[in-house]
């Protein structure tokens, strides 16, 4: 059954960007605004760019508000606030004609752009100095002005500010309030028609959170029953580890900062061997240090979850910028034949559910599971529906070999390891060669369950055995898991968007889902219908689903944020199909406009058989 | 429960060390220590590194993990932090523990998990057939130092002292009895203990056995084990080469600190020590 | 121009296997025999299997002698010497009917096999004891017997033994000679017709060496001008590092054993930055630890050569057994978009030339080059023609951008880095964006050449620059090298074996070349002609050559020693073609018989369009 | 050649450290040391790690390598071993050098290449915005220790002493003049020198600046720098926190040992010290 949901049209779609340099506090300013919006019935989506340096460099937050689910940061903004010249130069192109430009006239020279926009100079620095004696609070001046323009509930804002700045001390807080006030009043003579006033909107139902993708991973891990993490800080993954460190003790879990990534993955392997559900978050450079231990985990079949919040590379690269360029590493990056699973969430909410799924798969099949986020998902905040905890269930112990279902807000099942039965313990074979490749795993402390987990090739009992036949047999056993999972996928309904007779198909993965959806929506408005498939499981790929999707396609577009077309290469390796690459490798998320352009170009091709001509 | 050393032996697997290898003595001492302490084999986790010494985990009827080269200590630390109820040991060679894995020790020492680490020094890379290790004497002509190495060998015990390891001892494969009592004390010690064991290789004798045996001497009775400055002198001494406990102190262990963190976190949140559900946690993000 | 060399037929092809357990000294026994043979006009090829343990476990050496170049270890043996029961059980299947079996009757029960072979019991242990008082020298008893049977030059043998055992002391040497004598005389009543007596053969011309693949790499590095290595021991690569450590000082080079593989690759990166040609040898587990630094090398464009002598995995796996399962790691195993080159020598001699080529490519294009050997090449010894050193040349400094040619014994050119000219130094741009992606690299000490090599994204000058456009530009620059190399390949003649109209094609890589050649030879004898392509460059693949090879093929067989068909996957990703996998994953090299079986099966397929039906 | 600090500055690049960051002082001291030593900028290699302190290599007009996190020392060692004619420095932070890169130090010390390592300790992970480093005090609430860490901070100088580092000093960003003279002495020292520098962070002050400044005191004149046992006491001292040279000894350096190996190898082969060609080498394998 193909799903072809009608795209719901939105009455409201408003985008604000606040830009300045690192240290200006634009992110705080924007996040407070977003928080206020999130308390209304609006959906909120934020995107953050910030420099890798401690000081200076371009920094911005973009906030999108809609009355329906939001899938991307959007392309053109309705309101732009710039703190300095660089911010103006970098952002002015994305301001819609007729949009509002708020800027500090003391530092921004708007040049010849004056006619296309509504210009609203606000002397941020001067006003901050006047109100507080220093320029530090200029972001609060801006926030005050925006609060006025969007009709914020000032009482709520004060509460939010107090929560946020509680640790800064009385004096700083007082200054913030003074600056806020100054901005609020200064904006009184600006004429901006937003169609909405935040304070007048219905408050949200109680079941929404405003969280980042990284926070979603941390919360997903906790919901999945993870009670142990060991990590080493690395941008842009650090907030996952920081959030877990803060929250795990509250649920009886433990978090340890290790001396490096090798120690981190070693510690979670030890903890998983000891019986816990474990996770370590990292990014490309750190992930690479974990390679040897990842192969060990494949060999000794210990369940672990690794999160890679991708940043632009190679090497140190662009630590705070987004890219989808660790896919080939995730799928192939190990010596020897090392089976593992790779998942890629498509957005903030999905990060929560895919994290739960990562644990379920790791525990059910005893393989390392890699969760590939990227900076743009990790740092983006979005309103996420609170899952229904009454519908959360443990997979029945009597059915431990049940396949793992895909969790959703209305039904989450939590999977635990298959443990040996009393009979099995009588002559325990840790690496029993079973139909699905997975064998019962004894928890230390269990009498009779003692076994050896060795990185050397071993027999079903775990005893080292390097004979030719045993190596073949056990290699097959380990890979049978992936075959089994692939077969399980065949039972799932085919899920793609768009009509099955559309001849243009798009495949993407991870964070580009929203941009592709929006591009398709606009293409449809221009009369071009397309299909769209966005697998959450990167490896093993859901083969049957993709094969069916590929049927009768004339043009296949593969959308990804990297230079060489890693996903396209992989799809070709699996299905032999050629594709047109829709790629971006600039450290920034691809926009729906950029995708739309290629769709329209492809739709205009006359020679329909030649799909590689772009 | 009273057990015998036999209980800890994995019957199905026969050690494949060379006849005369020092590691046999360590295996026997370890099994005796388990017996003395009446530990249940199913409540022991052994993590070993790679090397001849890394084979340890194959021969014991415990929960055993034979991991990769150099990572036994952080792996054992993770196991202990997750399961404070179990007895956790790490085992490895001089290459495994001092060369590739050397960077983990100071941090494990600072965390002080209640694990015991047996470091089996044969002054050579045994398994890979005779390359120089961090403790190979500078004039020994190994396969990777055919013209003599010239590097200064490492002095592990003084290093462990400055790392703040909370229990440090040296033992010798010649003396299983003493080794057994030292390992027993190490396992009993609450905190990270290192037993540094001279376990000579019969194939590549980078240090002369006979000389080693001759020079070995027990630390004097009443040695002040709590004074790190006093421990340094005998720790550096080569002649005599002291065996026994060099240093021991009481220091909060990782597992307890993690418990305290849980307490603090909950008190900060509620004012009391009660756990929260995932649902409650998520409500904070509304 | 397609090459279709007529296969030269050999008059002599004799294979001996000596098998026992680790510690029996079978390898020494066989190597001495091989050394004697190598001093004749014969070609020699040895293959060694040994256990990962220090004591016990199956160990064997197989020696093949021919009067033409030898491509593989062969399948069935003419003469088998077994020291114990396990050796008999493991090896008896490969003894040709009518072949000679030498065995120690005291420990080997030959069961019911008696009728098919010529049985020659020799009480090895007893004779050793009688002659020397101990059983240690039983391998010398065997060697004595073999020396008699193959008519060895006993004077030469004594010299070789003296060289080999010089360090063991007088007494041990004397015992060896006594044991040798005993064996020699005991064999006098054995009737074996070998068609040759070693002592009667013409001595070899002066231009042959008997070296292992690992030694070939070390010698290749020295010939290429490498003067620095840093390494960490790991089976089965250690002998490369050991050989370099012994030889480099003789040519003014330096070797350092580091504390781990991360330090090793860091040290060679530092040394290469400082201006030297560098190498580090390792195997899968160590290679994985180098991943992060490999990405750095791609990013800062520093030339380095890494050798991976593959062993069976994953994880510690089967340290002394062979496998071709690091290909996917070599090609894809890095986070971010990290260009690098991967080469795979096909035999001992080729290891020498591909090593030189690895250095030439690394230095010319400033990328990390990975050389993929495997245990079976690394440990195998073969007679290798000494290169003609008069024909060795340095690439002309005035033509630094010349493409890199493939070295062969008659013509080796050595490539050095492109250095900035005096004019270029006036305004030096280390990462100048050039047509071939390669920029002049200043050697420290050069005034005006100072630059920053940073793993952060940077501009042409090397200054950190994370702007979207710069990231795209520099990513393209780095990948342009591979595109350029691919284009260079197009100028090479198409090299494959077999007639262009054969409809069955075989593609292999690395150590399987000889077995494929032999299988083709036998298939041809049975009337089945095939084509065979064996690229030395795994990445970037020589696309045009492969495309041409694939033309008009009905069946494509891809031969490799791993479970999942890594090369087949990669070929499909590049060319979209399906293939029939001829795979082995047992820690042992694939044999020509195993390949032949598949060829014959495919040749018998009726439905010619369905080539995936196997 | 007489140069000025200006020569070493990379004009095109302005440091992006926070105003007031301790690293500015180190940069200035380093440039002054170069001036004092009249080094040619093109004969200097600087290798830095990752962190705020890792940015050092961006600001100097030398041959500079900004590598990965924690690998500055083995990279610098390789550079020096390959090119003994150059002056080679490694620079990095407390996280870079003591945490992820900590395992390399003892081995570099044993090899003793003639390199200088500036270790800039701000007791925090600055660049990644405030997580605990190995020297963060146990009670500081960093982003990864919101309830207090409780781990014992590391004492780097005593550790360096037991590693056998051949020159060990401590400096402080408050005192550029003293730092300059220490760095100058360190570069001059033949062998591996570590200058451990307190270079506080203005964003995350895990150690109170004022307290640091107050407690700082120079090592007494005439301090016996050759006695490692005597060096240990002031090395452990927190109040006062001593600056100056703690330990210095003469020890064969890596580059010279490599030269000696070359000599030995050639003598073994020929009886004399002449080099061989690749061709001659290969003839041995016939
Ligand atoms: C990452 C990695 N590098 C290298 C090796 C090869 N290797 C195996 S054991 C060993 C050293 C063994 O020395 P030691 O730890 O002293 O143990 P011993 O055999 O002497 O007991 C090495 C280098 C490996 N297995 N993994
Ligand atoms: C392999 C790897 N892991 C983690 C990181 C992230 N990271 C960058 S700098 C840093 C720590 C910096 O601390 P420190 O070395 O003390 O330098 P500081 O910024 O304080 O000067 C970390 C963890 C990285 N770049 N690479
Ligand atoms: S090689 Fe040495 S260390 Fe290894 S088993 Fe033999 S004697 Fe023991
Ligand atoms: S964060 Fe701290 S260490 Fe980094 S630049 Fe700013 S003050 Fe310096
Ligand atoms: Mg050892
Ligand atoms: Mg720091």
- Please report the DSSP string for A409-459 in residue order: TTBEEE--PPPPPHHHHHT--TT---TTS----PPTT-TT---EEESB-B-
Start-to-end C-alpha separation, chain D: 53
Residues 296-325 of A with CB under 8 A from D: 315-316
Indicate if the pLDDT at residue A455 is higher than 80: yes
Q: Residues A77-104: pLDDT tens digits?
A: 999 999 999 999 989 999 998 889 999 9
Closest CA relative to residue B96, chosen from B121, B65, B79? B121
User: What CATH code would you report for B5-251?
Assistant: 3.40.50.970
pLDDT at C2: 36
Who has greater pLDDT, A155 or A272?
A272
Exposure pattern of C357-395 as b/e (b: 16+ CB <10 Å)?
bbbbbbbbbbbbbbbbbbbbbbbbbbbbebbeeeebeeb
The whole model's pTM is what? 0.95
pLDDT at A1: 33
Closest residue in chain D to residue B269, using alpha carbons only: D147
For residue C259, give how far its alpha carbon lies from the nearest alpha carbon of chain B (Å).
Answer: 5
pLDDT mean over C303-331: 97
pLDDT at A203: 80
Q: What span, in angstroms and rounded, lies between the C-alpha atoms of A77 and A45?
A: 13
pLDDT mean over D185-191: 98
- Is residue C352 within 8 A of residue C219, CB to CB? The reply is yes
> What is the percentage of chain D residues whose pLDDT exceeds 90?
85
pLDDT at A3: 39
Residue nearest to atom 3 of ligand 2 (CA): A286
Nearest-ligand number for the alpha carbon of D95: 2
Nearest-ligand number for the alpha carbon of D24: 4
pLDDT at C516: 96
Q: What span, in angstroms and rounded, lies between the C-alpha atoms of C422 and C442?
A: 11
Beta B241-248 vs B167-172: how paired, if at all? Answer: antiparallel
Judged by average pLDDT, the poorest of B134-148, B150-164, D236-250 is B134-148
Verify whether ligand 2 is closer than 6 Å to residue D124 (CB atom): yes
Secondary structure (3-state) at A471: helix
Q: Residues C561-605: pLDDT tens digits?
A: 999 999 999 999 999 999 999 999 999 999 999 999 999 999 997
pLDDT at A73: 84
Q: Which of C233, C281, C283 to mutate to test ligand 1, by most ligand atoms within 8 A of the CB atom? A: C233
Whether B110 sits inside 8 A of D154 (CB atoms) is yes
Mutate: best of C53, C168, C233, partner B, most B CBs <10 A = C233
Indicate if the pLDDT at residue D60 is higher than 90: yes
Indicate if the pLDDT at residue C612 is higher than 70: no
Q: Between C206, C247, C269, which is nearest D78 by CB?
A: C269
Whether D57 sits inside 8 A of C206 (CB atoms) is no
Indicate if the pLDDT at residue A112 is higher than 90: no
- Is residue C268 within 8 A of residue D116, CB to CB? The reply is no
pLDDT at A606: 56
pLDDT at D209: 85
pLDDT band of A4, cuts 50, 70, 90? very low
Nearest-ligand number for the alpha carbon of B96: 1
Q: CA of C380: how far to CAs of A344, C30, C65, C315, in Å?
A: 44, 12, 13, 24
> Which ranges of A248-407 would DSSP assign to H, the alpha helix?
261-274, 284-289, 291-300, 327-332, 348-365, 375-379
Measured between beta carbons, which residues in chain B are less than 8 angstroms from residue D264? 147-148
Contacts of residue A175, Cβ cutoff 8 Å, sequence gap at least 6: A131, A132, A133, A134, A136, A137, A140
Measured between beta carbons, which residues in chain C are less than 8 angstroms from residue B206? none
Indicate if the pLDDT at residue A405 is higher than 80: yes
pLDDT mean over A535-559: 94
Whether A275 sits inside 8 A of B82 (CB atoms) is yes
Whether A257 sits inside 8 A of D131 (CB atoms) is yes
CA of D113 to the centre of ligand 2 (A): 25
Determine the Cα angle at C504 with ends C503 and C510, to 5°.
Answer: 140
CATH superfamily for domain C2-200:
Pyruvate-ferredoxin oxidoreductase, PFOR, domain III (3.40.920.10)
pLDDT mean over C304-331: 97
pLDDT at A388: 86
Q: Which of B122, B128, B130 to mutate to test ligand 3, by most ligand atoms within 8 A of the CB atom? A: B122
pLDDT band of A389, cuts 50, 70, 90? confident
* Cβ-based contacts under 8 A for chains C and D: 186
pLDDT mean over A502-529: 95
What angle, 0 to 180 degrees and rounded to 10, lies between the N-to-C axes of helices C543-550 and C566-575?
A: 90
Closest CA relative to residue A436, chosen from A482, A369, A368? A482
Closest residue in chain D to residue A316, using alpha carbons only: D68
Whether A312 sits inside 8 A of C469 (CB atoms) is no
* Interface residue B101 vs chain D (CB under 8 A): yes
CATH superfamily for domain C210-393:
Thiamin diphosphate (ThDP)-binding fold, Pyr/PP domains (3.40.50.970)
pLDDT at A229: 98
Contacts of residue C163, Cβ cutoff 8 Å, sequence gap at least 6: none
pLDDT band of C114, cuts 50, 70, 90? low
Q: What span, in angstroms and rounded, lies between the C-alpha atoms of A308 and A330?
A: 9
Q: Residues C19-47: pLDDT tens digits?
A: 998 888 999 999 999 988 888 888 899 98
CA of D96 to the centre of ligand 2 (A): 6
CA of B52 to the centre of ligand 3 (A): 6
Q: What span, in angstroms and rounded, lies between the C-alpha atoms of B231 and B224?
A: 8
Task: Encode chain D in three state secondary structure.
Answer: CCCCHHHHECCCCCCCCCCCCCHHHHHHHHHHHHHHCCCCHHHEEEEECCCCHHHHHHCECCEEEECCCCCHHHHHHHHHHHCCCCEEEEEEEHHHHHHHCHHHHHHHHHHCCCEEEEEEECCCECCCCCECCCCCCCCCCCCCCCCCCCCCCCCHHHHHHHHCCCEEEEEECCCHHHHHHHHHHHHHCCCCEEEEEECCCCCCCCCCHHHHHHHEEECCCCCCCCCHHHHHHHHHCCCCEEEEEEEECCCCCHHHHHHHHHHHHHHHHHCCCCCCCHHHHHHCCC
Q: What span, in angstroms and rounded, lies between the C-alpha atoms of C515 and C324?
A: 14
Whether C259 sits inside 8 A of B146 (CB atoms) is no
Q: What span, in angstroms and rounded, lies between the C-alpha atoms of C593 and C596?
A: 5
Q: CA of C149: how far to CAs of A118, B179, C20, C187, in Å?
A: 101, 55, 20, 7
What angle, 0 to 180 degrees and rounded to 10, lies between the N-to-C axes of helices D72-82 and D254-270?
A: 50
* Interface residue C180 vs chain D (CB under 8 A): no
Whether B143 sits inside 8 A of C238 (CB atoms) is yes
Closest CA relative to residue D189, chosen from D56, D79, D89, D45? D89
Q: Residues C63-107: pLDDT tens digits?
A: 999 988 888 888 789 999 999 999 999 899 899 988 899 999 999
Whether A333 sits inside 8 A of C337 (CB atoms) is no
Measured between beta carbons, which residues in chain A are less than 8 angstroms from residue C588? 468
Q: What span, in angstroms and rounded, lies between the C-alpha atoms of A25 and A22?
A: 7
**Token pair recorded at residue C369:** 């080059």
HSE at residue B143, side-chain half, CA atoms within 13 A, is 20
Indicate if the pLDDT at residue C610 is higher than 70: no
pLDDT at C318: 97
Secondary structure (3-state) at A362: helix
For residue D116, give how far its alpha carbon lies from the nearest alpha carbon of chain A (Å).
Answer: 24
pLDDT at A477: 98
- Alpha-carbon C524 to chain mean position: 27
pLDDT at C585: 97
Helix (H) or strand (E) holding A240: helix A238-247
Q: Residues B77-109: pLDDT tens digits?
A: 999 999 999 999 999 999 999 999 999 999 999
Whether B127 sits inside 8 A of C54 (CB atoms) is yes
Give me the residue label for tokens 């396990």.
C86
- Is residue A381 within 8 A of residue A34, CB to CB? The reply is yes
pLDDT at C10: 62
C291, with CB counted inside 10 A (0-12, 13-18, 19+), is buried
* Interface residue C172 vs chain D (CB under 8 A): no
pLDDT at A414: 94
Summary mean pLDDT of chain A: 91
Mutate: best of D69, D144, D158, partner B, most B CBs <10 A = D158
pLDDT band of A578, cuts 50, 70, 90? very high
pLDDT band of C389, cuts 50, 70, 90? confident
Residues 393-452 of A with CB under 8 A from B: 442, 444-452
CA of A265 to the centre of ligand 2 (A): 17
Q: Residues D12-43: pLDDT tens digits?
A: 899 999 999 999 999 999 999 999 999 999 99
For residue D213, give how far its alpha carbon lies from the nearest alpha carbon of chain C (Å).
Answer: 34
The shares of helix, strand and coil residues in chain A, as percent rounded to the nearest 5, are 40, 20, 40
Q: Between C228, C447, C452, which is nearest D58 by CB?
A: C452
pLDDT at C8: 47
Eight-state DSSP code of residue C172: H
For residue B158, give how far its alpha carbon lies from the nearest alpha carbon of chain C (Å).
Answer: 19
Indicate if the pLDDT at residue A554 is higher than 50: yes
Beta A452-454 vs C228-231: how paired, if at all? Answer: unpaired
Measured between beta carbons, which residues in chain D are less than 8 angstroms from residue C230? 78, 81
**Token pair recorded at residue C390:** 């008069």
Beta D63-66 vs D44-48: how paired, if at all? Answer: parallel
Measured between beta carbons, which residues in chain C are less than 8 angstroms from residue B201? none
C114, with CB counted inside 10 A (0-12, 13-18, 19+), is exposed
Q: Residues A269-301: pLDDT tens digits?
A: 999 999 999 999 999 999 999 999 999 999 999
CA of C293 to the centre of ligand 5 (A): 27
In ligand 2, the atom with minimum distance to the C-alpha of D133 is 16
Q: Residues B109-118: pLDDT tens digits?
A: 999 999 999 9
Q: Residues D107-136: pLDDT tens digits?
A: 999 999 999 999 999 999 999 999 999 999
Whether A258 sits inside 8 A of B262 (CB atoms) is no
Closest CA relative to residue D206, chosen from D92, D108, D93? D93
pLDDT at D1: 53
pLDDT band of C479, cuts 50, 70, 90? very high
Indicate if the pLDDT at residue C6 is higher than 50: no
Helices (H) and strands (E) in chain B, counts: 10, 8
Secondary structure (3-state) at B284: coil
Other beta carbons less than 10 A from residue D99's beta carbon? 27
Closest residue in chain B to residue C260, using alpha carbons only: B100
Closest CA relative to residue C294, chosen from C253, C254, C258, C342? C342
Verify whether ligand 1 is closer than 6 Å to residue C289 (CB atom): yes
Q: What span, in angstroms and rounded, lies between the C-alpha atoms of B182 and C319?
A: 34
CA of B18 to the centre of ligand 3 (A): 5
Return the bridge partners of C13, or none.
C66
Closest CA relative to residue D190, chosen from D117, D248, D260, D114? D114
Secondary structure (3-state) at C387: coil
Whether D82 sits inside 8 A of C451 (CB atoms) is no
Summary mean pLDDT of chain C: 91
Verify whether ligand 3 is closer than 6 Å to residue B203 (CB atom): yes
Q: CA of A541: how far to CAs of A350, A482, A535, D147, in Å?
A: 18, 10, 8, 42
**A496-610 matches A210-393 in CATH topology:** yes
Closest CA relative to residue C380, chosen from C344, C353, C347, C346? C347
Secondary structure (3-state) at A359: helix
pLDDT band of C356, cuts 50, 70, 90? very high
pLDDT at D2: 56
Judged by average pLDDT, the poorest of A183-192, A286-295, B58-67, C80-89 is A183-192
CA of C241 to the centre of ligand 1 (A): 15
User: What CATH code would you report for C496-610?
Assistant: 3.40.50.11610
Measured between beta carbons, which residues in chain C are less than 8 angstroms from residue A581? none
Give me the residue label for tokens 């064999």.
C187
pLDDT at B1: 53
Secondary structure (3-state) at C256: strand
Indicate if the pLDDT at residue A12 is higher than 50: yes
Q: Where do you find CATH 3.40.50.970 in chain B?
A: 5-251
String of DSSP letters for B173-236: TT-HHHHHHHHHHHHHSSS-EEEEEE---SS--SS-HHHHHHHEEEPPTT--TT-HHHHHHHHH
pLDDT at C67: 85
Whether A321 sits inside 8 A of C471 (CB atoms) is yes
CA of C215 to the centre of ligand 1 (A): 22
* Interface residue A270 vs chain B (CB under 8 A): yes
φ/ψ bin of C541: left (φ > 0), alpha (ψ from -120 to 50), beta (otherwise): beta
- Structural domain boundaries in chain C: 2-200, 210-393, 408-490, 496-610
Q: What span, in angstroms and rounded, lies between the C-alpha atoms of A394 and A412?
A: 8
- Is residue D32 within 8 A of residue D5, CB to CB? The reply is yes
Q: What span, in angstroms and rounded, lies between the C-alpha atoms of D234 and D229?
A: 10
Whether C444 sits inside 8 A of D42 (CB atoms) is yes
CA of D20 to the centre of ligand 4 (A): 8
């Amino acid at each position: 059954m193909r799903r072809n949901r009608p795209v719901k049209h939105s009455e409201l779609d408003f985008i604000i960007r606040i830009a300045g340099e690192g240290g200006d506090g634009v992110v705080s300013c924007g996040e407070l605004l977003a928080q206020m919006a999130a308390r209304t019935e609006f959906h909120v989506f934020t995107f953050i760019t910030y420099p890798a340096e401690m000081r200076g460099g371009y920094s911005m937050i973009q906030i999108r508000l809609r009355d329906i689910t939001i899938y991307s940061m959007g392309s053109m903004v309705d309101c732009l606030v710039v703190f300095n010249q660089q911010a103006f130069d970098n952002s002015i192109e994305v301001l819609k004609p007729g949009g509002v430009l708020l800027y500090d006239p003391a530092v921004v020279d708007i040049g010849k752009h004056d006619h296309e926009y509504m210009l609203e100079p606000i002397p941020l620095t001067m006003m901050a100095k006047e109100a507080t004696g220093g320029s530090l609070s200029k972001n609060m001046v801006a926030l005050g002005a925006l609060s006025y323009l969007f009709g914020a509930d000032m009482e709520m804002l004060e509460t939010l500010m107090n929560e946020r700045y509680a640790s800064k001390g009385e004096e700083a807080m007082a200054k913030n309030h003074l600056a806020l006030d100054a901005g609020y009043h200064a904006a009184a003579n600006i004429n901006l028609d937003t169609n909405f006033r935040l304070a007048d909107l219905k408050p949200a139902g109680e079941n929404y959170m405003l969280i980042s993708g990284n926070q979603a991973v941390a919360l997903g891990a906790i919901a999945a029953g993870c009670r142990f993490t060991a990590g080493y800080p690395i941008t842009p993954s650090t907030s996952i580890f920081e959030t877990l460190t803060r929250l795990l003790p509250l649920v009886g879990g433990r978090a340890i900062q290790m001396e490096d990534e090798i120690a981190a993955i070693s510690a979670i392997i030890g903890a998983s061997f000891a019986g816990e559900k474990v996770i370590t978050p990292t990014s490309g450079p750190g992930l690479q240090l974990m390679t040897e231990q990842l192969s060990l985990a494949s060999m000794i079949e210990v369940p672990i979850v690794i999160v890679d919040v991708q940043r632009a590379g190679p090497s140190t690269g662009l630590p705070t910028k987004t890219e989808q360029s660790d896919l080939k590493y995730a799928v192939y990056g190990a010596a020897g034949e090392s089976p593992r699973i790779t998942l890629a969430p498509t957005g903030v909410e999905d990060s929560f559910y895919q994290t739960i799924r990562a644990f379920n798969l790791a525990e059910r099949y005893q393989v390392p599971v890699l969760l590939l986020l990227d900076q743009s998902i990790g740092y983006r905040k979005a309103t996420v529906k609170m899952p229904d905890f009454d519908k959360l269930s443990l997979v029945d112990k009597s059915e431990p070999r049940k396949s793992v279902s895909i969790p959703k807000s209305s039904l989450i099942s939590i999977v635990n390891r298959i443990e040996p039965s009393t009979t099995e313990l009588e002559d325990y074979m840790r690496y029993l060669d079973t139909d699905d490749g997975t064998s019962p795993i004894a928890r230390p402390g269990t009498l009779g369950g003692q076994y050896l987990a060795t990185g050397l090739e071993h027999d079903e009992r775990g005893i080292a055995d390097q004979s030719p036949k045993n190596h073949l047999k056990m290699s097959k056993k380990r890979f049978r898991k992936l075959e089994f999972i692939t077969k399980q996928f065949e039972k799932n309904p085919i899920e793609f968007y768009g009509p099955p007779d559309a001849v243009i198909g798009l495949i993407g993965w991870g964070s580009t889902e929203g941009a592709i959806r929006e591009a398709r929506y606009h293409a449809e408005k221009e009369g071009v219908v397309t299909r769209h498939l966005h697998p959450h499981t990167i490896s093993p790929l859901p083969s049957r689903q993709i094969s069916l999707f590929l049927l009768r396609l004339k043009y296949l577009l593969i959308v990804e944020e990297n230079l060489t077309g890693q996903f396209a290469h992989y799809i070709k390796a699996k299905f032999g199909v050629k594709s047109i690459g829709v790629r971006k490798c600039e450290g920034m998320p691809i926009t729906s406009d950029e995708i739309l352009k290629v769709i329209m170009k492809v739709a205009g091709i006359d020679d329909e058989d030649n799909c590689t001509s772009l | 429960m009273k057990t015998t050393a036999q209980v800890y032996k994995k019957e199905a697997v026969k050690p494949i060390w060379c006849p005369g290898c020092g590691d046999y003595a360590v295996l026997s001492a370890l099994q005796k220590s388990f017996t003395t302490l009446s530990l249940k084999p199913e409540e022991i986790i052994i993590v070993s590194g790679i090397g001849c010494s890394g084979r340890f985990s194959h021969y014991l009827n415990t929960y055993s993990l034979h991991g990769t080269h150099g990572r036994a200590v952080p792996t054992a630390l993770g196991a202990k932090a997750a399961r404070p109820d179990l007895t956790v040991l790490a085992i490895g060679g001089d290459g495994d523990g001092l060369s590739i894995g050397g960077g983990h020790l100071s941090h494990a020492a600072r965390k002080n998990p209640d694990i015991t680490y047996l470091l089996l020094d044969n002054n050579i890379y045994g398994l890979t057939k005779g390359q120089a290790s961090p403790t190979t004497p500078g004039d020994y002509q190994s396969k990777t130092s055919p013209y003599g190495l010239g590097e200064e060998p490492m002095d592990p015990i003084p290093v462990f002292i400055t790392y703040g390891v909370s229990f440090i001892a040296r033992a010798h494969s010649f003396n299983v009895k003493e080794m057994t009592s030292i390992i027993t004390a190490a396992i009993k010690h609450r905190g990270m203990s290192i037993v540094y064991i001279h376990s000579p290789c019969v194939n590549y004798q980078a240090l002369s056995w006979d000389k080693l045996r001759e020079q070995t001497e027990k630390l004097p009775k009443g040695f002040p084990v709590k004074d790190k400055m006093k421990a340094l002198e005998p720790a550096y001494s080569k002649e005599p080469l002291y065996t026994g406990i060099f240093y021991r102190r009481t220091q909060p262990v990782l597992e307890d600190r993690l418990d305290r963190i849980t307490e603090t976190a909950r008190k900060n949140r509620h004012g009391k020590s009660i756990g929260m559900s995932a649902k409650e946690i998520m409500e904070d993000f509304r």
